[in-house]
Structure 1
Amino acid sequence: MKLWFVVFVSIVVLILALILFSPLIKVKPNKISDFTDVESCLQKYYFEDNSNSTYKISLISREFSPKENYPKAWECMRQIPKDKSYNLLIQLKDAPSKDVKALLELNGIKLLNYIPKNAWFAEAKGELMLNKVLLSQIRWLGIIRPEDKMQKSLWEGNAGSWGLNGNDVNLVIKLHDNAPSQMFETLVTELGGEVTEHVNTSNSFTIKIPMKNLKMLANENSVRYIDTIAPPAVITN
């Protein structure tokens, strides 16, 4: 048997195998930005000290008192790609003045929404250039966990009867201000969902997505908050 014939048959068999088995291969949707290295690094320096209520952080999903992890966790920030911004939680030692906030932003960290106590959602840019005075203000740096972006009941799969549509769930999504909306819409499509409304001024969306993919959506760094749609109004006489 000639070599060329053996090669030809092998190629045909390989093509047929790809056609037959490709539906069984699950492709993981792409994230808008992949910050795996940053998050793995920050997780190494995440410890709680819940006996210390002075620096207790209160999220919608939980309360916790993180142990101070600066300056070790600061090294994780160096892994943010140069042309990217990473959304994280940051806790300062004291309430910052307007001048300190302005200097933080000038040097690559923009404080966004306040979280009690002395914590913020923040945007950190690649190649941060902070001086020692500003760095001395930082107490703790940490990731925004997927479960921190929604009520505990929703994380556990309870979306309310008004929020469910068969195997799908209707959600309101608020993105961080720096998040690209078009790329988020692509991500929703990859997760088997669809966008039903987009409010550009607030960078928020109403979407329908399979309930099984909710946690995968929450794992996207650009997502700030997830909630079910509001229940229908009850008319009373």
Structure 2
Amino acid sequence: MKSKSQLEIHISRCKPIKNSWFFVLLLYLLAHNPLYAQVKGEEKFSIKLKTREFVPEVGIKSETLSKLQHQIVAEKKYPHVMIQFTEIPTSYERELLVTSGIKLLNYIGNNTWYASISDSIAIHFQNTGITKKYPALNLVRSIEEIPVEDKISPQIREKGIGDWARTPDGKVNLVVSYFKDVDIDIVKTRLQTLGAKILGGVKVVNNLTITIEEQKITDIAAEDIIMWIEVVPPPGGPESNRIRAHVQADMAQNAPLNLTGNNVTVGVFEWNHILQNHADFSGRAVRKDATAYDPGHHPTMVAGIIGGNGSQSNANGGTANQWKGMAPGTNLYSYNANSGGTTADDYLDFSNDLETAIGTDNIDIANNSW
């Protein structure tokens, strides 16, 4: 017979084993619990928009089906919807989806896209006769309308529109994004019909800057061709200084990477221009926009973080190369968004500069810190 001390030792050694088996059993039961499986399934299909988080219902609502059917067949329109798949379609499957009338536009997460529907076949994805002929439709989990509320920035609905976006005549300046399969002239015409004044637009990012009465915002959002509405950005302002350690420049510049940014062009979009003759840029900083040259501290600081060579660190109280930038060999193109007008004018100036920078100046990277 074991002594008491031996028995205690034996029991104490067995406890972790018993507890381990209990823990494994608990995990097994949890993993096979229907409620747990349901929660995990919902996580997979949960959509996180700027306006809300939700799980789309499986299938398509009868009223949505009827509405889309009428728009496609009777009105000859290509309505925009939110479509979710059970799995991400492959390139081949996407081609098949096009043949069934589904054109994917903007990915919004968890197997879900904004899309346009050109054929009523697509909205009958739960019909086995149709899916037999168009097997790619078997991937469709849900089709939903895009509510007006999901097209309006929460800033507008919850915080209101700031003074910077209001005009002297009581209207507001907005940035309106439209779906990329819609012609910009169609969007302009529709917005003007609603009373908007078109201030400008940038095709490359599919948006227009407009002035309109605030109460018309909901009417704009109700238009099928409109994807998103937000106020024009507020005036730019300086940020805190950054330091070399913060951007972890040594990791990129030292072996084995040895990266310098050579042959890379960065567009620096700011509230002023980069000081072109700063010694840290050694002739690599160039003003590229049409705005009168107006160098400023903040864009120069940002450009230094990006591509300064650090040659002036010692002379300004630092150690050798203490303030060398992340990519000291990069070309720095400077663009000033300060138009001297309203914030809407500033945004248009920036948008036009961006389009020129991408289409004409061939920048590789765009930096915005204003």
Scaled by the length of structure 2, the TM-score of the pair is: 0.47
Q: Aligned pair count?
A: 189
Tell me, what secondary structure is at the counterpart of 2:180? coil
Which residue of 2 is the match for residue 78 of structure 1?
69
Aligned residue runs from structure 1 range 48-197, under 5 A: 52-70=42-60, 75-76=65-66, 77-82=68-73, 83-128=76-121, 131-132=131-132, 133-156=135-158, 158-166=160-168, 167-197=170-200
Q: Distance in 1 between matches of 2:190 and 2:60?
A: 34
Which residue of 2 is the match for residue 217 of structure 1?
220
C-alpha deviation, 1:183, in angstroms? 3.1
Aligned residue runs from structure 1 range 15-34, under 5 A: none
Alignment gaps of 5+ in structure 2: 1-37, 123-129, 240-296, 298-370
Q: Which amino acid aligns with 1:149?
A: K
Alpha-carbon spacing, 1:212–1:73, altered in 2? closer, same or farther (3 Å): closer
Based on CA coordinates, which of the two structures has the bigger radius of gyration?
Answer: 2
C-alpha deviation, 1:222, in angstroms? 0.1
Q: Distance in 2 between matches of 1:169 and 1:199?
A: 19
Q: Is the Cα–Cα contact under 8 Å of residues 188 and 209 in structure 1 kept in the other structure?
A: no
Q: Is the Cα–Cα contact under 8 Å of residues 83 and 114 in structure 2 kept in the other structure?
A: yes
Q: Percent identity?
A: 26
Q: Is the Cα–Cα contact under 8 Å of residues 50 and 64 in structure 1 kept in the other structure?
A: no
Alpha-carbon spacing, 1:225–1:165, altered in 2? closer, same or farther (3 Å): same
Q: Which amino acid aligns with 1:117?
A: N
Q: 1:204 aligns with which of 202, 207, 215?
A: 207
Between 167-176 and 69-78, the greater mean CA deviation after superposition: 69-78
Q: Report which of the two has the higher share of strand.
A: 1
Tell me, what secondary structure is at the counterpart of 1:115? strand
Q: Distance in 2 between matches of 1:190 and 1:57?
A: 33
Q: Is the Cα–Cα contact under 8 Å of residues 149 and 225 in structure 1 kept in the other structure?
A: yes
What RMSD over aligned residues (CA atoms) do the two structures have, in Å?
2.6
Alpha-carbon spacing, 1:74–1:150, altered in 2? closer, same or farther (3 Å): closer
C-alpha deviation, 1:71, in angstroms? 8.9
Alpha-carbon spacing, 1:50–1:63, altered in 2? closer, same or farther (3 Å): farther
Q: Distance in 2 between matches of 1:164 and 1:71?
A: 40
Q: Is the Cα–Cα contact under 8 Å of residues 100 and 119 in structure 2 kept in the other structure?
A: no
C-alpha deviation, 1:131, in angstroms? 3.8
Tell me, what secondary structure is at the counterpart of 1:80? helix
